[in-house]
Amino acid sequence: MIRLRSFAPRVALAMAVVVLLTSLLGAGWGWLRAQAALRQQLDLVLAAEAEGLLRDYETFGLRGLSEVAEITSRRPGPLLVLLQAADGRPIAGRLPAAPTVLRGFATWRQGEGEVPLRALGAVLPGGANLIVAADLSSVDRAATALAWTPPVAGGVAALVALGLGFLLASRLERRLAGISGAARAVMAGDLARRLPESGRGDEFDRLAVTINAMLARIETLVAEVRQVTDDVAHDLRSPLSRLRQRLEAALARARDPAADEAALEGAIGELDGILATFAALLRIARAEAGAGREGFAPVDLSALVAAVAEAYAPVAEEAGRALEAEVAPGQVIEGSAPLLRQAVANLLDNSLAHGEGRIRVRLRPGAALEVEDEGPGIPAEERQRVVRRFYRLDRSRGTPGTGLGLSLVAAVAGLHGGALSLGEGPGGKGLRATLALTPGERPAILKPSS
């Protein structure tokens, strides 16, 4: 049901009123213009008739003019002729309520309520007065007929505008009802609901596409928040349980300064691990939200990667592994040096913790960083999942770590407009992690899946 409170019906009604009022104003203006034009034409007709009668007077004299005036007056038609003496006495013809002497044009009424007359008078030699007149009823009828054209056309246009307006309103009501229903469903918690599209590609469809993209992003973010909440609750349960058991065991036994100190140091270690987990989660969240872009500055990526590789070389050597670095010079990008340093370090930590054999670090021209190892790698079906917070492969659950390292690398890459990709190492062995930080062709972006 269309309500007049709705926007479209009110616009249609307003447009119809505007069209109707405009047509009425146009009718009034048209009537005045038409009447003026028709009266001007009538004046030309009267002048031509008077000129013809004057030629008859010059040819036949007053008597001949009298006969012509009498014949013209008796002839059916709008023209009236009167020939009167100098004292106003009629000589020939008829013209009710004629003035005694008339020179030039004049308009008068024959009587109360009668049709006005338009007349042209001329004084002849000897004092006689010739008057040619015509009633204005035909002029008024023609002007009125012309004046009625705009109101009739305006009325039809107003009705058409009103009908089209209500038709548009009904369609608009249906579109808005669908949008309103979808919005209520989303408010009720159905984040998978989307606004309907008509397929016509109009403004409403473009708006629906934009809002649907926003809803999809909101759904993804909410799902990620839920997943993070579940992961935090699941992955922090174990360290918190160990911490509680450690403290309960220390509380239950007899006081021993050395044992109590060891228990407290162990508890502090557990808490440090929990705090480190929360710090990593905070860094990931800030990076995914785009926080910190305002502090971007030129970063010498070549120097940064070389410094991190140099710092990790002794660690790799201590683990019985070799670390090779091949760094292209002069690679400078806009970014956050601490976050980029953390991302490079996380890639090296991942290779040290889960890979085997030689570690190769390459920074190629175009600011594309590759870290390769010769370990078991990551199965193709798991590569999208390993960048999810707290996700760990089954074989890695016994190794130290929180499952946040690659998540942070992916978040830092996204913050810098880059991408992280995971693939096979040389010869199909090991893992190759590629961090591309420049515009252009990049590997497919890995995002934490829900």
pLDDT at 444: 41
Position 439 pLDDT exceeds 50: no
Choose between 363 and 154: higher pLDDT: 363
Q: Encoding tokens for residue 118?
A: 């338009």
Q: How confident is the model at residue 395 (pLDDT cuts 50, 70, 90)?
A: low
Backbone angles phi, psi at 134, to 5 degrees: -150, 145
Mean predicted confidence (pLDDT) in 232-249? 74
Same fold flag, 203-286 and 290-436: no
Whole-angstrom Cα distance, residue 142 to residue 153? 17
pLDDT at 311: 92
Whole-angstrom Cα distance, residue 295 to residue 313? 30
pLDDT tens digit string along 164-206? 777 777 777 777 778 888 888 888 888 888 888 878 777 778 8
Whole-angstrom Cα distance, residue 288 to residue 254? 49
> What percentage of the chain has pLDDT greater than the value 90?
4
CA-wise closest residue to 405 among 305, 306, 313, 277:
277
Position 375 pLDDT exceeds 50: yes
The chain-wide mean pLDDT, for the chain, equals 78
Stated as kind and residue range, the H or E segment containing 65 is helix 7-74
All residues at 6 or more sequence positions from 274 whose CB lies less than 8 Å from its CB, including other chains = 236, 239, 240, 243
Q: What is the distance, to the nearest Å, from the Cα of residue 112 to the centroid of all Cα atoms in its chain?
A: 68
113: left (phi over 0), alpha (psi -120 to 50) or beta: left
SS3 78: coil
Position 421 pLDDT exceeds 80: yes
Q: How confident is the model at residue 8 (pLDDT cuts 50, 70, 90)?
A: low
pLDDT tens digit string along 314-359? 998 888 888 989 999 988 988 888 889 888 998 998 888 888 888 9
Choose between 292 and 72: higher pLDDT: 72
pLDDT at 308: 92
pLDDT at 392: 65
Position 441 pLDDT exceeds 50: no
pLDDT tens digit string along 26-44? 767 766 777 777 778 878 8
Mean predicted confidence (pLDDT) in 361-386? 84
Is the CATH number 3.30.450.20 carried by domain 7-143? yes
Whole-angstrom Cα distance, residue 48 to residue 30? 27
- What angle (nearest 5°) sits at the alpha carbon of residue 54, between those of residues 48 and 60? 135
All residues at 6 or more sequence positions from 158 whose CB lies less than 8 Å from its CB, including other chains = 16, 17, 19, 20, 23
Other Cβ atoms less than 10 A from the Cβ of 379: the count is: 10
List the chain domain ranges. Answer: 7-143, 203-286, 290-436
Mean predicted confidence (pLDDT) in 101-126? 80
pLDDT at 309: 92
CA-wise closest residue to 425 among 375, 350, 361:
375
343 contacts 412 by C-beta, under 8 angstroms: yes
Position 445 pLDDT exceeds 50: no
Give me the amino acid identity at 174: R
Position 208 pLDDT exceeds 80: yes
Is the CATH number 3.30.565.10 carried by domain 290-436? yes
User: Is the four-CA dihedral 382, 384, 386, 391 of positive or negative sign?
Assistant: negative
46 contacts 52 by C-beta, under 8 angstroms: no
| Range among 98-112, 293-307, 391-405, 427-441 with highest mean pLDDT value | 293-307
Any idea which architecture 203-286 has in CATH?
Orthogonal Bundle (1.10)
